[in-house]
Structure 1
Amino acid sequence: MDVAVLGATGTGRAVVGHFAGAGHAVRLYDDDASAVMDAIDDAEREYGVDATESVDGTTGLESAVGGADLVVDAGDDPERDRRERLAAAEELIDRETLVAVGDPRTSVTAVAAGLRRPDRAVGIHVVDDDASVVEVVVADATTADARDRAVEIVEDLGATPVVVGDAPGLASARLELAAVVEAIRLVEEGVAAVEDVDAAMERGRGRERGPLARADEMGLDRVLEGLDDLTDRLDGRFEPPGLLREKVADGDLGVRTGTGFYEWEDGERAGPADPNPGVEVRSAAPENPDEL
């Protein structure tokens, strides 16, 4: 399969790495030649691909998308510019070419609005670094054929496809952040200790890391940024707890700084950080049961 990637961004680099790593021919487009070469070098280093075998770089839109089976817009510029770029690309591609938006911060429906055939537009959003899970986003005009072809492409990458509607943020990220918010509130309100909150998920739900440990691994500043973004675009469900804002303001960002909700040593939890409330209990039973 021939894949055209539009945008030498972090998202573009990841798309190049995952598709080239799966054996597909990839062409990376950007109007900045230096950015293209740097992104290809980064993809080689981060994803172990041999760019000489499967990746070409170009500053020409026609040379990038001509003959492509899949065009992925990976830009991080304003929505209007991305809509215009895909509309220009559509004039140069075959009728059956699938068009995808790679940035989960952007509405697929809005970007595809400039296409003559928005029915072929989907979102392809990589959830994790190893691309084990990829969300296939169905926009307002997406047909069943386009959805099914996108699912097949994701499966060909060796990933698990998750079909979702066109809504703000990654669905999987929203689920994880919702768990993080509630976990922080339990600590903030003194309902449970840090380790007990995580134990409920790690042992009770079979997860390797509980929500507070995962927040530390993601970086509390990134967690706060994600929650603020979802709060702006959705509602109060994702309002960041005050305790999270305090930790970020104090520079306690998790694994990266050695302290978050846990103290960390060499990437391993060394114990809970403050605050770490315990559940209050009586020191002893009253001598007179009537005092209860």
Structure 2
Amino acid sequence: MTAITDHRLAVLGAGVMGTAIATLATGQGLSVTLVDVDREILERAETNVRNQLRLARMMGRLPRDGATGELTTTTSIEDVAGATAVIEAVTEHADIKAKVLAEASAAVDPGTLLISNTSAVPIDEQADWIARPEDLVGVHFMNPPYLIRTVEVIRGPRTGAAALAAATELLDVLGQQGVVVGDGPGFVINRILQRMINEAARIVQEGIAAPADVDAVFQGCLGHTTGPLATADLIGLDNVVDSLRVLHERTGDAGYQPCELLLSKVAAGDWGRKTGHGFFEYGGTV
């Protein structure tokens, strides 16, 4: 495993999570190459990184006086060559992840740390897609990672000790606290959270309670900072449905089959905070 020295990081995918990870890394002084197939998405991501950096520093969650790492954007995955670590943060579709991870692993030197920010697809399944399975580690960043420091670190059956050590070192540089867990669909957080979101949405669908009341019960009775439905809006209801489908396909548990209300909201484009509408209203896209 190549030692991480000057921390040249590549992030694959300029969506919500990829952009937020780029914010975290550049805010800690790391150079980042952000890759996406869509130039317009990359241009929007550059603006979002600047805005998120300003917010995180204003809140004291990223160093206010530290150097800002250079952000480079590209539509060519071949530009990840030379990176000391690659973080995949594309949509939760196995076929897309397989293509991106295969191309990235072919572009970097052997021993380069490969990280999947998957929220549900098992790491050992992803290991089949790359040339060197021992270089792959799962790191499930929370959203947004520059505000939430704890991450799940998933060691797959074929993950090497050197890759796990390199991931731990990188997370330390990023100011993140990793909790190592075993492999399996959804790992810990999403094995529990996505089922909870699905049931909360089903309760709304059945007319038992309004979204605000569901979340108020969780906040007041269980001490949650946000309830399951506001959390779903933050994650993105499209991403919630994708994760539920992955869990349903890989566990066979009917409780993970997305309920009709979630499916109808996604079909209508009401994806949560990023579109301005989900279970709650947000006054425009973010």
| Alignment partner, residue 167 of structure 1 | 184
Task: Say which of 102, 108, 131 aligns to 2:117.
Answer: 102
Contact 1:3 1:72 in 2 (8 A): no
Q: Partners of 2:43 and 2:208 in 1: how far apart?
A: 52
**Partner letter of residue 156 of structure 2?**
A
Cα distance in structure 2, aligned partners of 1:265 and 1:28: 27
Aligned to 2:141: 126
2:96 corresponds to which of 75, 78, 81:
78
RMSD across aligned positions (CA): 4.4
Q: How far 1:141 moved relative to its partner?
A: 0.6
Q: Which amino acid aligns with 1:127?
A: M
Q: What's 1:28 paired with?
A: 34
1:277-288 equivalences in 2 (<5 Å): none
CA offsets, 1:23-47, max 9 Å, x none? 1122335677776566445433444
* 1:221–1:19 distance in 2 versus 1, CA, 3 Å: closer
Offset of residue 203 of structure 1: 2.6
Query: Residue 56 of structure 1 is aligned with which of 72, 79, 99?
Result: 72
Contact in 1 for aligned 2:13/2:88 (Cα 8 Å): no
Asked if the contact 2:238/2:271 (under 8 Å) is kept, the reply is yes
Identity %: 33
Aligned with residue 132 of structure 2, among 87, 105, 117 = 117
CA deviations on 1:98-129 (whole Å, 9 max, x unpaired) are 22223436543344335453212112232211
Taking a change above 3 Å as real, the CA distance of residues 248 and 65 of structure 1, as seen in their structure-2 partners, is closer
- Over alpha carbons, which structure has the higher Rg? 1
**TM-score scaled by length of structure 1:** 0.65
Partner of 1:19: 25
Match of 1:140 among 132, 157, 166: 157
Q: In the TM superposition, what whole-angstrom CA distance separates every residue of 1:50-85 from its partner, at most 9, and x where no partner exists? A: 99852234567666332x321223455734422431
Unmatched 5+ stretches in structure 1: 268-292
Q: Contact 1:127 / 1:170 at 8 angstroms: preserved in 2? A: no
Name the CA distance, whole Å, in 2 between partners of 1:107 and 1:9.
Answer: 22
- Report SS of the residue matched to 1:78: helix
Pairwise CA distance, 1:150: 1.4
Cα deviation digits, residues 120-141 of structure 1 (max 9, x gap): 2112232211441322222221
Q: For 1:72, what is the secondary structure of its paired residue?
A: strand
Give TM-score, length-normalised by structure 2: 0.66
Could you say what secondary structure the match of 1:17 adopts? helix
Change (3 A) 1:98 1:225: closer
Counterpart of 1:81, as a letter, is K
Deviations 1:237-288 (A, max 9, x none): 223445656777899887877784x7x6979xxxxxxxxxxxxxxxxxxxxx
Change (3 A) 1:39 1:224: closer
- Take 1:62 and 1:226, find their aligned partners in 2: how far apart are those partners? 28
The answer to whether the Cα contact below 8 Å between 2:27 and 2:69 also exists between their aligned partners in 1 is no
For 1:219 and 1:61, the matched residues in 2 are separated by 25
Cα distance in 2 for partners of 1:241, 1:32 equals: 31
Q: Aligned to 2:7, which of 2, 17, 22?
A: 2
Gaps of 5+ in 2: 1-5, 58-65
Describe the SS at the equivalent of 1:203: helix
Shift of 1:6: 5.1
